[in-house]
C-alpha cells in the first residue's frame, strides 16, 4: 500500500513539473469552478422560489430542472477540462500552450462535449433516482456503480480531445484503453486524491485554529479576515488538484496510445499507477 502511495506521489510531482512550466493551466479549473457556481445559482434560486423540491413527491418539473442542472454543470466541467487536457497535451508534446490554445481545442469539440455531458447527466439522474428509493445496501451498491462509471469514463475527455469521434465511441474507447493497458482499479489518481485530501484536511484544521485564536485575541473582524484567507487557500488547493488531475489524465492517455511516457513522466511509474486485472 505504501509503495503504491509512493509511486502515486512520484506521478503527482511529475504532473506538478508540467504545471510549473505552464502555471496558466490553473486558470481552466478556476474558471470552471466559478462558472459551476453561477450555474448552480441560476438553477437553485428558481427551484426554491417555485418550491419544486418541497414535499415527499417531486414534481415532474423538478426532474426536468434537475436534468438541465446536471447537463449544464457537466458541460461546464467537461468544456474547461477539455481545454486543460488539450493544453496539457501540447506541453507533453514539447510545445508551449496558451490559454487560447486550450479554449480553441475545447470549442472545436463543443458538440461531442455537449453529447457526453448529456450522457453523464442521464447516468447521474438515473443513479440519483435509484439512490433516493434504495435502502442502505442499495445506496452502497449505487455508490459502487457510480465509482465504476467514473473509472470507465476516466479517459473520455482525452479521447474526445485527441480523436474526431462522438461521445458514445469515446466512452467505449475509454473503457477499452483502461482494460487493455492497466485494468480497472486506478491507483495513481486515487493517490492524487489522497495527497490533496490530507493537505486539505490539514489546511482546514489550521484555518479553524487560527480563526478561533484570532476571535479570542483580536476580535471577530480579524477572525473573519483570516477565515476568508483560509477559504481562498483551500479553494486554491482544489484548483491545483483539478489541474494536476487533468495533466495526469492527458499523460495516461498518451501512454496508453503510444506506449511511451511523455516528457517528465517515468514509464514504469505510469504503468504501475494502475493495478492489473
Higher pLDDT, 191 or 115: 115
CB 84 within 8 A of CB 19: no
Is 0.85 surpassed by the pTM of this model? no
Question: How confident is the model at residue 44, as a pLDDT?
Answer: 77
Question: How confident is the model at residue 6, as a pLDDT?
Answer: 61
Question: How confident is the model at residue 271, as a pLDDT?
Answer: 62
Question: How confident is the model at residue 75, as a pLDDT?
Answer: 95
pLDDT at position 184 over 50: no
Question: How confident is the model at residue 108, as a pLDDT?
Answer: 95
What residues are paired with 185 via a beta bridge?
275
pLDDT at position 115 over 90: yes
How far, rounded to the nearest angstrom, does the alpha carbon of residue 79 sit from its chain's CA centroid?
12
Q: How far is the C-alpha of 51 from the C-alpha of 48, rounded, in Å?
A: 5
Range of the domain at 224: 2-275
Angstrom CA distances, 16 to 25, 27, 134, 167, 209, stand at 11, 15, 41, 29, 29
Nearest to 88 by CA among 148, 141, 15: 15
Higher pLDDT, 119 or 249: 119
pLDDT at position 110 over 90: yes
Question: How confident is the model at residue 186, as a pLDDT?
Answer: 60
How many Å from the N-terminal Cα to the C-terminal Cα in the chain? 17
Q: Per-residue pLDDT tens for 159-182?
A: 999 999 999 999 999 988 877 655
Instruction: Find the mean pLDDT for residues 126-155.
Output: 78
pLDDT at position 86 over 90: yes
- For 154-174, b where at least 16 C-beta lie within 10 A, e where not — what string? bbbbbbbbbeeeebeebbebb
Count how many domains the chain has: 1
Q: Per-residue pLDDT tens for 237-260?
A: 889 888 988 888 888 888 778 766
Question: How confident is the model at residue 96, as a pLDDT?
Answer: 85
Q: Per-residue pLDDT tens for 48-73?
A: 666 655 554 556 667 777 788 889 99
DSSP state letters, 94-142: T----HHHHHHHHHHTHHHHHHHHHHHHHHHHHHHHHHHH--HHHHHHH
Nearest to 109 by CA among 138, 78, 130: 78
Q: How far is the C-alpha of 40 from the C-alpha of 133, rounded, in Å?
A: 24
Q: Quick one: pLDDT band at residue 183, thresholds 50, 70, 90? A: very low
Q: Per-residue pLDDT tens for 2-31?
A: 665 565 566 667 777 888 888 889 999 999
Burial class (CB in 10 A: 0-12, 13-18, 19+), 150: exposed
The average confidence (pLDDT) of the chain is: 81
138 three-class SS? helix
Q: How far is the C-alpha of 140 from the C-alpha of 144, rounded, in Å?
A: 6
Instruction: Find the mean pLDDT for residues 75-100.
Output: 91
Question: How confident is the model at residue 80, as a pLDDT?
Answer: 96
Question: How confident is the model at residue 105, as a pLDDT?
Answer: 95
How far, rounded to the nearest angstrom, does the alpha carbon of residue 159 sit from its chain's CA centroid?
16
Which residues fall within 8 angstroms of residue 37, CB to CB, at 6 or more apart?
A: none
The 8-class DSSP code of residue 59 comes to P
CA dihedral for 17, 20, 23, 26, sign (positive or negative): positive
How far, rounded to the nearest angstrom, does the alpha carbon of residue 254 sit from its chain's CA centroid?
19
Which residues fall within 8 angstroms of residue 24, CB to CB, at 6 or more apart?
A: 98, 99
pLDDT at position 273 over 60: no
Q: What ranges make up the beta strands (E) of the chain?
A: 185-186, 274-275
pLDDT at position 203 over 80: yes
Amino acid at each position: 500500500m505504501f509503495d503504491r502511495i509512493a509511486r502515486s506521489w512520484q506521478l503527482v510531482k511529475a504532473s506538478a513539473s508540467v504545471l510549473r512550466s505552464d502555471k496558466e493551466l490553473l486558470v481552466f479549473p478556476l474558471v470552471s469552478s466559478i462558472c459551476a457556481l453561477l450555474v448552480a445559482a441560476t438553477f437553485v434560486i428558481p427551484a426554491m422560489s417555485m418550491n419544486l423540491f418541497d414535499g415527499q413527491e417531486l414534481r415532474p418539473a423538478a426532474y426536468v430542472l434537475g436534468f438541465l442542472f446536471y447537463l449544464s454543470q457537466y458541460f461546464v466541467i467537461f468544456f474547461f477540462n477539455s481545454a486543460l487536457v488539450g493544453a496539457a497535451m501540447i506541453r507533453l508534446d514539447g510545445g508551449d500552450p496558451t490559454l487560447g490554445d486550450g479554449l480553441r481545442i475545447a470549442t472545436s469539440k463543443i458538440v461531442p462535449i455537449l453529447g457526453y455531458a448529456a450522457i453523464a447527466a442521464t447516468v447521474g439522474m438515473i443513479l440519483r433516482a435509484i439512490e433516493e428509493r434504495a435502502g442502505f445496501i442499495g445506496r452502497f451498491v449505487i455508490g459502487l456503480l457510480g465509482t465504476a462509471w467514473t473509472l470507465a469514463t476516466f479517459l473520455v475527455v482525452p479521447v474526445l480531445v485527441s480523436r474526431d469521434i462522438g461521445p458514445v465511441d469515446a466512452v467505449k474507447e475509454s473503457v477499452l484503453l483502461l482494460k487493455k493497458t492497466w485494468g480497472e482499479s486506478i491507483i495513481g489518481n486515487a493517490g492524487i486524491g489522497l495527497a490533496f485530501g490530507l493537505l486539505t484536511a490539514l489546511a482546514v484544521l489550521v484555518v479553524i485554529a487560527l480563526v478561533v485564536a484570532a476571535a479570542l485575541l483580536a476580535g471577530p473582524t480579524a477572525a473573519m479576515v483570516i477565515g476568508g484567507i483560509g477559504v481562498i487557500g483551500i479553494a486554491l488547493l482544489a484548483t491545483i488538484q483539478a489541474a494536476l488531475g487533468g495533466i495526469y489524465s492527458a499523460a495516461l492517455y498518451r501512454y496508453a496510445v503510444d506506449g511511451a511516457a511523455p516528457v517528465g513522466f517515468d514509464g514504469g511509474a505510469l504503468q504501475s499507477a494502475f493495478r492489473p486485472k
